[in-house]
Amino acid sequence: MSADAIIEAKSVTKTFGGPAEPVVALDHVSAAILRNEFFTLLGPSGCGKTTLLRLIAGFEMPDSGEIRLDGEEIGHLPPNKRPVNTVFQSYALFPHMTVRENIGFGLLMQGRAQTEIREIVDRMLELVRMVEMAERKTDQISGGQQQRVALARALAPQPKVLLLDEPLSALDYKLRKEMQIELKRLQHETGITFVFVTHDQEEALTMSDRIAVMSNGKINQIGSPREIYTHPVNRFVADFIGETNFIEAQLEKGVARLAGGARVAIETGHADGAVTLAVRPEHVRIATQGAQGAIPATVADSVYFGTDSHVYLALDDGTEVVARLGTDASGHSGPEAGDKVFVDFAPGSVQVLEA
């Protein structure tokens, strides 16, 4: 086990259903989650991310493989014997109890002294900025405040790891954005390892120290948000994280030739043959005719988003490309539908994926 890892999954497999029609939720998954980091399991529904979280929590047992916490194999331990806590999507608060009583409930079940419980709960109320709401019932506070109470209750026993199962999904957009900042603040201030499950790429990019992108029961890539976004290892990761243009090309001696004959310079180190180029919309630029690498295109549509516009282009060979162009002070962001233009790609922005 890595010296900096607090959780390590080793070739973990989990299936559901009978032997006739087994559903593979996790297929030999291995990952190391580092101490004091915000680690996110990201992927579409059914990819295995929640199953992995439940295995760490102890709500499910692996069919094979190991899960270690601080070097100790914990597969045999029930949930209440593991130094982890979970915040669920539903929060699972007790409506007949006050905020203070909810936060202190786990400590009470542990048999802690009343003076110790009060000290810890007071500290948690300050941490989640809920001091003034301490004596209210949880059905008398907002959804965002309920989320804070659930977090405080989970943090009160000082677990080594906090597991969060899509805890922001029930909140509206503005409140969800605010809670993203709050979650990162709480993780930083407590120093506890957070393992966060989400299908929302923006949440993952905003909060995480590292992200594991999952699909079909496997981890495709683990890396920092910047690494995942700028250097996806395959088409699934490139497509799932943000918007991406995929352009088929033929690679010859470090130059990619598009179907229409246009040539795009790429980084060296790739074998000749059929490839797929991945280019983010913000790296597609409007170029001048005759400029090196300029590719003729026709604007099919332009959709205004305020800070920028998405310009939908058709290259001469029929390939569809989206460009994200910033707006100026007057709100103008470039060409309109029907315009004939030339485009190129920002230097170093073209990623080569296996076709």
* Segment 184-220, tens digit of pLDDT: 988 999 999 999 999 999 999 999 999 999 999 999 9
Write 8-11 long-range contacts (CB < 8 A, 24+).
8/32, 8/33, 8/66, 8/67, 8/68, 9/52, 9/55, 9/56, 9/65, 9/66, 9/67, 10/65, 10/66, 10/67, 10/68, 11/64, 11/65, 11/66
Q: What are phi and psi of 57, to 5 degrees?
A: -70, -25
Show the beta-strand stretches assigned E in 94-235: 161-165, 193-198, 210-215, 218-223
The pLDDT assigned to 333 comes to: 67
**Contact present, 286 and 323 (Cβ < 8 Å):** yes
The pLDDT assigned to 91 comes to: 76
pLDDT band at 331; cut points 50, 70, 90: low
Average pLDDT, the chain: 90
Q: Which amino acid appears at position 146 of this protein?
A: Q
pLDDT band at 1; cut points 50, 70, 90: very low
The pLDDT assigned to 354 comes to: 62
pLDDT band at 172; cut points 50, 70, 90: confident
For residue 306, pLDDT beyond 50: yes
146: tokens are 């309920």
d(CA 350, CA 85): 42
Domains of the chain with bracketed CATH:
5-235 (3.40.50.300), 243-354 (2.40.50.140)
Give the residue from 316, 276, 355, 45 showing the smallest Cα distance to 169: 45
